[in-house]
Structure 1
């Protein structure tokens, strides 16, 4: 899970303590089972009927906000409760009413604010734009609460078991990928924003679990930045380098060859056995799941399709983090993906820096070779593998 159980219940307690959750909402969340699809046909309580959300039908919510009613109720209540705690100068405190929050969520879902939405919410464009800024800042600040890496041994082993069930690879706690979002960069900096697919982008380093929950989001930088450089300068990369997360692996692209704790495919010239071939197939199944995770983000939050003109990566980092927080919340409520969902294309590896060539002995690489021989040298037919079939169903 991307959000530890204790933290999730603390969030609920925070809402209930502040008296902002109605009875229907608190009951839905506290009794929530992770793998059960929330019902959208439950009767709406009297307080909900008189709310802005209560006046919107399910079709409108799905079409324009890409979220269901229970999820939206939680988001609204949580934002309003947290907003009351934040300290603002009274003269500059924006209005985050229910309608304004819904307008911000519609902007994330559509990438714009259609008049059909603002008219239905009965707010003007200027008010809606201010709400987007305030909501984005608040959601971005909530990143440490809703996007958490499994720091305890039990949480790591739970994540690792899920990956092992899917692929047969042990001790993997996450998949490392780079989300690219189209931008129009400053003219004098265009070259550094060109990614390996040939367009200008902002890239964000993301780690996710076997269910697509986000574990880590950081390092917003130009799309042409080498992946190994992003990893080594990230907080999570430094944590792994000092074994803060134990002897575990992160699945990564060939660009990260030689980076500690990042499990990359066996290079073609080093494949000496069938075990290495089978390992590479299992690795590809896990790594390619980034197509689904990033496709989910961009389909549900279409503001991530294209940011347009920017001045710096920092100027868009808040929006990306806000959408990632909402992604994890939507996963918690099992919100279906939009009908126009599509997979995100895989990016070819960026420049490969052969770090191993500078090292006479690499503990992690030797461990990787031993693991491959131990777990994959008996695999005879990948097509008949139960783990492979499970992963294909997931994709």
Structure 2
């Protein structure tokens, strides 16, 4: 019997890798990756220590390339496009790179650095003035809403992820200020969960209920949320006069959160379609997109197709009067407090 010959060792081949940071201008970088060159380098430097390869292999993927690959995926939602751009790495490498970079962006150390509620009196006052400039609604520091991020049907607890529109999703609670910057995001609840339940278990509610947030600060939400002293919802059947005026101002001001969610999903199309990873990984993708959205806001990086910007002359607006503590005798019940607030501010 003839002795079997050993198989020759397969030689790995590497495709050449593009340096898109040198090849493309800022306009094209923003179009394809949602950040300009300076923004991409800012994110890279922030994550460099964790993204650098622990080996000295010649073809190790650089931190810059890892950030570019991840941004391309988040901008399009299509992992194969990262390969289609001829960036160089193989599809398995692309998948590993995206998972690693998203994990870092969604980590508590990074997320709490870029997504945070204003704490100082000056920060709170500035946000109240910005909201006041929209529709003369006093005391508002943020607007809140829920949005569903479609996911592929999970293998476990599949029925819990089916929302009221009969598709699988992550129900995400998100909070914006008047400049469309994200102040808080909760992305860990299945699609069947009601908005009010997510709020009830959130750190945002604990902060308001435990008086961590100063008295006189208000959040605007729709009728899916319970009406509270700090969370103002619209009247379902407003009476003529003050209640109708309140509802009009409420609607115009609360449009901020709807536009903010629209901006987030247009900036990162991965949130627009069906995310084809596990619910746990999807939650991290949502948080990573929120971090990057705020980085874009901090660096004034606009969407390529964004043709409107709400300009609020905040510095020219006088104090809306929302920071003072409520006087004695103000009702604790949310619905009665809303009546008190409406009669005081819109009567």
TM-score (norm 1): 0.69
Secondary structure, in 3 states, of the residue corresponding to 1:121?
Answer: coil
- Residue 375, structure 1, aligned to residue 341, structure 2: no
RMSD across aligned C-alpha pairs, in angstroms? Answer: 3.0
C-alpha contact (below 8 Å) 1:182/1:308 kept by paired residues: yes
Q: 252, 263, 266: which is aligned to 2:235?
A: 266
Cα gap change, 1:368 to 1:328, in 2 (>3 Å): same
Q: By how many angstroms is 1:275 displaced?
A: 0.9
| Count of residues in Structure 1 that have an aligned counterpart in Structure 2 | 303
C-alpha contact (below 8 Å) 1:296/1:341 kept by paired residues: no
Aligned to 2:220: 251
Aligned to 2:286: 320
Secondary structure, in 3 states, of the residue corresponding to 1:123?
Answer: coil
Separation (CA, whole Å) in 2 of partners of 1:90 and 1:314: 32
C-alpha contact (below 8 Å) 1:169/1:282 kept by paired residues: yes
Q: Which runs of 5+ in 1 are unaligned?
A: 1-49, 343-360, 378-395
Aligned to 1:292: 259
Secondary structure, in 3 states, of the residue corresponding to 1:288?
Answer: helix
Secondary structure, in 3 states, of the residue corresponding to 1:221?
Answer: strand
- Residue 111, structure 1, aligned to residue 80, structure 2: no
Separation (CA, whole Å) in 2 of partners of 1:217 and 1:282: 25
Matches within 5 A, 1:164-179: 164-179=132-147
Q: By how many angstroms is 1:127 displaced?
A: 2.0
Secondary structure, in 3 states, of the residue corresponding to 1:180?
Answer: strand
Cα gap change, 1:333 to 1:177, in 2 (>3 Å): same
Secondary structure, in 3 states, of the residue corresponding to 2:219?
Answer: strand
Aligned to 1:156: 124
Cα gap change, 1:280 to 1:51, in 2 (>3 Å): same
Separation (CA, whole Å) in 2 of partners of 1:117 and 1:310: 18
Aligned to 2:316: none
Separation (CA, whole Å) in 2 of partners of 1:159 and 1:340: 23
Larger Rg: 2
Cα gap change, 1:140 to 1:199, in 2 (>3 Å): same
Q: 336, 343, 346: which is aligned to 1:366?
A: 336
Q: 111, 114, 117: which is aligned to 1:143?
A: 111
Separation (CA, whole Å) in 1 of partners of 2:307 and 2:141: 26
Cα gap change, 1:215 to 1:115, in 2 (>3 Å): closer
C-alpha contact (below 8 Å) 2:275/2:282 kept by paired residues: no
Q: Give the number of the structure whose residues are more often helix, by fraction.
A: 1
- 1:88-134 per-residue CA deviation (whole Å, 9 max, x = no partner) reads 8999xx85521221111111111123457665433222222211111
Separation (CA, whole Å) in 1 of partners of 2:254 and 2:164: 17
Secondary structure, in 3 states, of the residue corresponding to 1:179?
Answer: strand
Cα gap change, 1:207 to 1:340, in 2 (>3 Å): closer
Cα gap change, 1:174 to 1:65, in 2 (>3 Å): same
Matches within 5 A, 1:206-355: 206-247=174-215, 248-259=217-228, 261-268=230-237, 271-309=238-276, 311=278, 313-339=279-305
Q: By how many angstroms is 1:317 displaced?
A: 1.2
Secondary structure, in 3 states, of the residue corresponding to 2:89?
Answer: coil
C-alpha contact (below 8 Å) 1:183/1:201 kept by paired residues: yes
Q: 96, 115, 121: which is aligned to 2:87?
A: 121
C-alpha contact (below 8 Å) 1:219/1:230 kept by paired residues: no
Q: Which runs of 5+ in 2 are unaligned?
A: 1-17, 309-330
- Residue 99, structure 1, aligned to residue 65, structure 2: yes
Q: 119, 131, 139: which is aligned to 2:97?
A: 131
Secondary structure, in 3 states, of the residue corresponding to 1:202?
Answer: strand
C-alpha contact (below 8 Å) 1:64/1:117 kept by paired residues: no
